[in-house]
Amino acid sequence: MRFRSYAFALLAFAVTHTVMGATEQEYERAGLEGIPFKPSDTDRAIHDFDSPHYIYVDRSVIISHKTSASNDRHELFLYLTGTGGSGRTAIRFCRYAARDGYRVINLMYPDEIPASVCRNDSDPKAFEDFRMAVIEGGKTNRITVSRADSIENRLIKLLLLLKRTRPREDWGQFLSASGELNWEKIATGGQSQGGGHAALLGIKHRMARIIGTGAPKDYSIALGKPAAWYSDESATPKNRFFFLNHVQDFQGCTPGQCLENIRALGLEQFGPPINVDNVSFPYHHSRILTTDYPGGKKLDSKTAHTAGISGANEAVFSRVWQYMLTEAVR
């Protein structure tokens, strides 16, 4: 209850000071702590998975009166949590992305059912259909998501609210004139299930960048191979995809199967897998990054699964985060 009270106190602060006027220092401080927005407050048709989205923004970077704004990327970073997570996960990563010049949204979405429920299905499109139901809204034999509850609608409605209530931060640039998502100005990433959604979004839309940790995990046990969608023509150039995985992570599929998934995406053309424990920044510009941190120790799979995005490991992986967020792409 203490966390819930604090979160909504921040929301009250944001709304009140938008109306009454806050100092720029107060805006900057709130923007890096994360400001909550309840999904149902952006769209009355949203009823489920209603814990807050969080936005992160470093106004000292993107508001030009204080600096030249040369570090403003003019890109949105959409972060998608893993199964059972909330919009308050990966706080330090989101804060890091904001300081790198992104406007950041950690989006709450229907994440209760893992995509791994599809791994024993014989339909080659089972994983893709599951994920597209979450992304766009739809129904499969595994999941039903309304259009209102979909990732796309939730993101659009939040951006419309931010465009109206925080105009100096220019959230409207991520929407087209018709109110659709301006995909090419959006980078996306996530942990586990969220990383898989990010990868499929990159296949479907030309996006600024794709990042996954503990992902992608769509390996079909029934068919003995990676999900079919990995081999689809990609709207996003493949050199914009980046993945970090722990070699002791067996969640969803084995480390070997996860590597098969990444190979099916065609990322080895940019170099072989690089262990970031032994190779320094910029990791030979590989798109396939691995870790065994802390090394020499047997980890349980769940701990390994989240190691690369854990705030407790910021000092270890911050340079990896910086690489994935800022490596030059065409």
C-beta separation of 305 from 214 below 8 A: yes
Core vs surface per residue 289-298: b (16+ CB within 10 A) or e: bbbbbeeeee
Range 156-187 burial, b when 16+ CB lie within 10 A, else e: bbbbbbbbeebeebebbebbeeeeebebebbb
Q: What is the pLDDT of residue 86?
A: 95
**How many CA atoms are closer than 13 Å to the CA of 139, on its beta-carbon side?**
1
User: pLDDT 10s digit of each residue in the chain, 330 long?
Assistant: 344 444 444 444 444 344 445 676 777 788 889 999 999 999 999 999 999 999 999 999 988 655 454 689 999 999 999 999 999 999 999 999 999 999 999 999 999 999 999 999 999 999 999 999 999 999 999 999 999 999 999 999 999 999 999 999 999 999 999 999 999 999 999 999 999 999 999 999 999 999 999 999 999 999 999 999 999 999 999 999 999 999 999 999 999 999 999 999 999 999 999 999 999 999 999 999 999 999 988 999 999 999 999 999 999 999 999 999 999 997
Alpha-helix runs per DSSP H in 193-299: 193-204, 255-264
pLDDT of residue 21: 53
Cα 175-176-181 angle, rounded to 5 deg: 50
Which tokens sit at 246? Answer: 């722990």
283-321 pLDDT per residue, tens = 999 999 999 999 988 999 999 999 999 999 999 999 999
Domain 2-326 is of which CATH architecture?
3-Layer(aba) Sandwich (3.40)
Q: Which helix (H) or strand (E) holds 282?
A: none
- CA–CA distance, 321 with 302 (Å, rounded to integer): 20
Cβ neighbours of 56 (radius 10 Å): 25
**CA separation for the pair 264, 223 (Å, rounded):** 14
Asked whether 177 and 114 are in contact (CB, 8 A), the reply is no
Q: What is the DSSP string of 145-181?
A: E-TTTSHHHHHHHHHHHHHHH-GGG-GGGGB-TTS-B
Residue 83: per-residue pLDDT: 97
pLDDT the model gives residue 78: 98
- Strands 186-191 and 288-291 come out as unpaired
CA atoms lying within 13 Å on the CB side of residue 107: 31
Evaluate the CA torsion angle 11, 14, 19, 20 in order and state its sign: positive
Compute φ and ψ for 93, nearest 5 degrees. -65, -45
The confidence score (pLDDT) of residue 7 equals 45
- Minimal CA–CA distance to 262: which of 217, 200, 222, 224? 217
For residue 142, give both structure tokens: 């595994």
Percent of the chain with pLDDT over 70: 91
Cα(230)–Cα(216) distance, rounded to whole angstroms? Answer: 10
Rg (CA), the chain: 19
